[in-house]
Amino acid sequence: MSVRNVLEPFFSRLPAVARPEKQVLFKNKVFWTLAILALYFVLSNVPLFGMSAESIDLFEAYRAFFAGATGSIIVLGIGPIVTASIILQLLVGGEIVKLDLTDPADQAYFQGAQKFLVFIMIILETLPQLFGYITPDAGLAAALGVPTAFVTFLLFIQIVIGGLLIMFMDEVISKWGIGSGISLFIVAGVSQQLVTGMINWMSGSDGLPIGIIPKWYVLIRSGDLFSNGFQYLMINAGLLALISTVIIFLVVVYVESVRIEIPLAHAAVKGARGKFPVKLIYASVIPMILVRALQANIQLIGVILSRYTTVLGEYSGTTPVNGIMYYLSSINGPSDWIPSLVAQHFASMGYASPALWQIGLHLLTDAFLLTVGGIIFALFWIETTGMGAKATARKIFNSGMQIPGFRRNIGSIEKIMLRYIPKVTVIGGLFIGLLTLFASMFGTVGSAGGTSLLLAVSIVYRLYEDLAKEQISEMHPMLRSFLGQED
């Protein structure tokens, strides 16, 4: 008996959100999307019962990207879902696990395996954090008359429940709402940071308000906005972050509209024509989520190992300061690559600044991971989500459309798609990697992170397109099959 024959019945029995039996009305999809979004914000403000104030957030540098909230029940965010997706994509893409994802049976098996892996990753990402990072409140344990180990167990249960809630909330959005829960949660987290980054009146370490608007108000009134030099204006006053935020927004909106349009004609209805758009960012920004998640998990391993050995590098809190882990960490703003700012950052942690060549190698390593990783994950993503040439050709054929001048069969359509989709996917993966590097280098308003902002803008644009598609498919039911929806 094969491994698949053993696992398939088990995967089919895993708890899941029921699929709708018929097409969900647009207004109902909006309701479910907004309801899950509201629940997400509620959960992000539910603190972990029994956590001490000295706890450390292992994913602090990736917090907006992982769409979790420090110290809350959803501290894991989308981390387990994304990590499970990475593992399966590498296994399937490397043909270690052989699946034809255009086959409904193989696709169902893939989805079951992914859900099972999410369960595993929730536990694997929770346990390391409970050994010296998310620590139990000894005072609470004494007040309750229980050992601290019992409070640690309560923390474990809460974090696991939060991880499961995020997983099922993502399922609700995917089946009953619009877009995906992963994307929605990223947008929610980044938007929250952008708003607070603009208007937060709380004082930072320099005694000035954290938000750009109140900070400029105070600096203008005191006459210090322009008197402290160009670097102060750009970095400390947040002008560079504001400019970077605006540039990223404009570039992403423009690039999302760049596409190749393949002409289509209906085989049965004379004069009925259409176009199949192949966007420059064909695989969307999902590859960047996967690359950054891979880096985050590498850093998680590095932080844990640093407690026992410094072979891979030393850490100051959750920040790598030397060794291979320093080079594999992501660039998160000007203080990670501008030499004078790097020196200040390392001095604040009590470490000597890296040499100029080390800073350059760190930047080049991140650029390599983003560009090459973006290409690889983009190619894997389109194949595992039914966006590849073969799956797209089948969708076009089933919709009754054909490419003018070619025979109406799946093979002919697939040949045309092979001319464009793989090449555009590679170019798009490379471009989005370079754009992510730029966004990461210059930072953003609210310290949301360049990668997170880029993801959020692209996701919002795609969400706008999804809303338009949902409205069209409701008005014109015959288009559902072409849009990849089921009746």
- Predicted confidence (pLDDT) per residue in 424-453, tens digit: 999 999 998 998 888 888 877 876 666 777
165, 134, 175, 168: which is closest to 151 by C-alpha? 134
Assigned domain for 462 exists: yes
CA distance 68 to 75: 5
**One domain for residues 167 and 243:** no
Please give the structure tokens belonging to residue 37. Answer: 């979004």
The pLDDT score that the predictor gives to residue 478 is 47
Domain-terminating residue out of 140, 161, 177: 177
- pLDDT at position 483: 45
Residue 255 sits at the vertex; the CA angle it makes with 251 and 258, to the nearest 5 degrees, is 150
In the predicted model, what is the mean pLDDT of the chain?
84
The reported pLDDT for the residue numbered 346 is 92
Task: Give the pLDDT confidence score for residue 269 in this predicted structure.
Answer: 64
- pLDDT tens digit string along 122-133? 999 898 888 878
Domain closes at, from 130, 157, 177? 177
Contact 100, 383 (CB under 8 A): no
- Please measure the distance between the N-terminal and C-terminal CA atoms of the chain and give it in whole angstroms: 36
**Does residue 303 share a domain with residue 171?**
no
- The C-alpha atoms of residue 186 and residue 188 are separated, in whole angstroms, by 5
Q: Estimate to the nearest angstrom the gap between the alpha carbon of 296 and the chain centroid.
A: 11
- The verdict on residue 130 lying in a domain is yes
Residue ranges making up the domain that contains 267: 237-487
- Quick one: 147 and 30 in the same domain? yes
In the predicted model, residues of the chain with pLDDT beneath 50 are 478-479, 481-487
Let me know whether 281 and 168 are in one domain. no
- Residues 168 and 299 occupy one common structural domain: no
* Partner residues linked to 442 by β-bridges: none
The owner of tokens 């039996």 is: 21
Structural domain includes residue 226: no
121 and 243 co-located in one domain: no
What's the pTM value of the predicted model, to 2 decimals? Answer: 0.76
Residues 169 and 272 in one domain: no
Assess whether 163 and 257 both reside in one domain. Answer: no
Please report, for the domain that includes residue 86, its CATH number: 1.10.3370.10
The reply to whether 366 and 475 lie within a common domain is yes
Number of compact structural domains in the chain: 2
Query: Identity (one letter) of the amino acid at 326?
Result: Y
Same domain, 265 and 133: no
Residue 146 forms part of a structural domain: yes
Answer yes or no: is 230 within a domain: no
- Same domain (yes/no): 154, 241: no
Is residue 354 assigned to a domain?
yes
Count CB-CB contacts under 10 A for residue 223.
Answer: 8
The verdict on 146 and 268 lying in the same domain is no
Q: Which of 137, 153, 177 is where one domain is finished?
A: 177
What pLDDT does residue 110 have?
83
**Residue 188 domain flag:** no
Inside any domain, residue 185: no
